[in-house]
């Protein structure tokens, strides 16, 4: 009888030991998964920080480009008004008109050079963005996709400004040729 009780306790102890070992192994697996996920989350957090820093730098560049673009637009608008005024005054004031036209033409050349520099800066910025985040470009709803869309719009606006500058240059050349 005592032997039966001891044998029962021994078998129960073995069963509980096996169960404990099985549960301990499962907990060890879960612990390994949790640690692996934690490392992944830390790596992801570091990547997010890098992306945020890149985005902040990009926003600063975009603000600078916007400021340049506004300045160029204001200059072009002033030049267009000046060209129209000079064309009206040219009939009676040939010599003074010629000087004014030369000044205006020099301004147009400077603005054209500024546009070329701004276009090159925009192209470099877009190339940097594309090189750094080529995998994210397909998602237009992501912050990067929105930035790419903004840069493309800025590039189109610069192309339009460049075309208007060229039109003004052609008009000035035709006015210069007609004197």
**Between 85 and 16, the higher pLDDT residue:** 16
Mean pLDDT, rounded, of the chain: 80
Coil, strand or helix: which one is 149?
helix
Q: Minimal CA–CA distance to 152: which of 124, 122, 128?
A: 122
Cα dihedral across residues 10, 16, 18, 24: positive or negative: negative
How many CB atoms within 10 Å of residue 74? 10
Are 139 and 145 a contacting pair, CB within 8 Å? yes
90-110, pLDDT tens digit by residue? 655 556 666 677 778 878 888
Per-residue confidence (pLDDT) for residue 69, from 0 to 100: 87
Mean pLDDT score, 79-83: 83
* pLDDT of 15 higher than 60: yes
The model's pTM: 0.38
Dihedral of CA atoms 88, 94, 97, 99 in degrees, nearest 10, equals 170
Task: Look at phi and psi of residue 93 and say left if phi exceeds 0, alpha if psi is from -120 to 50, else beta.
Answer: beta
User: In this predicted structure, what is the pLDDT of residue 142?
Assistant: 67
Dihedral of CA atoms 71, 74, 77, 83 in degrees, nearest 10, equals -70
Tokens of 83: 């060209």
CATH of the domain spanning 48-178: 1.20.120
- The string of pLDDT tens digits covering residues 101-147 is 777 887 888 888 888 888 888 888 877 776 666 555 555 666 666 77
Q: Phi and psi dihedrals of 131, rounded to 5? A: -70, -40
The yes-or-no verdict on residue 170 having pLDDT over 80 is: yes
Q: Give me the pLDDT at residue 21, please.
A: 92
Binned at pLDDT 50, 70 and 90, residue 23 comes out as: very high
Whether residue 39 has pLDDT greater than 80: yes
Predicted confidence (pLDDT) at residue 22 exceeds the cutoff of 80: yes
Q: Give the sign of the dihedral formed by CA 90, CA 94, CA 96, CA 98.
A: positive
Residues 6+ apart with CB under 8 A from 149: 140
Taking the domains of the chain in order of start, what are their residue ranges? 48-178
CA dist 53 and 49 (Å) reads 6
């Amino acid at each position: 009888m005592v032997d039966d009780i001891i044998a029962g306790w021994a078998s129960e102890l073995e069963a509980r030991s096996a169960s404990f070992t099985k549960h301990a192994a499962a907990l060890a697996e879960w612990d390994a998964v949790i640690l692996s996920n934690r490392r992944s989350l830390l790596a992801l957090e570091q990547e997010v920080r890098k992306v945020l820093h890149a985005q902040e730098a990009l926003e600063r560049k975009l603000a600078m480009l916007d400021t340049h673009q506004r300045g160029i637009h204001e200059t072009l608008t002033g030049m267009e008004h000046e060209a129209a005024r000079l064309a009206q005054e040219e009939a009676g004031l040939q010599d003074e008109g010629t000087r004014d036209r030369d000044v205006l033409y020099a301004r147009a050349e400077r603005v054209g050079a500024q546009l070329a520099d701004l276009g090159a800066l925009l192209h470099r910025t877009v190339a940097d963005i594309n090189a750094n985040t080529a995998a994210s470009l397909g998602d237009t709803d992501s912050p990067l996709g929105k930035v790419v869309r903004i840069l493309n719009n800025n590039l189109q606006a610069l192309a339009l400004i460049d075309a208007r500058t060229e039109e003004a240059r052609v008009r000035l050349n035709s006015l210069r040729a007609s004197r």
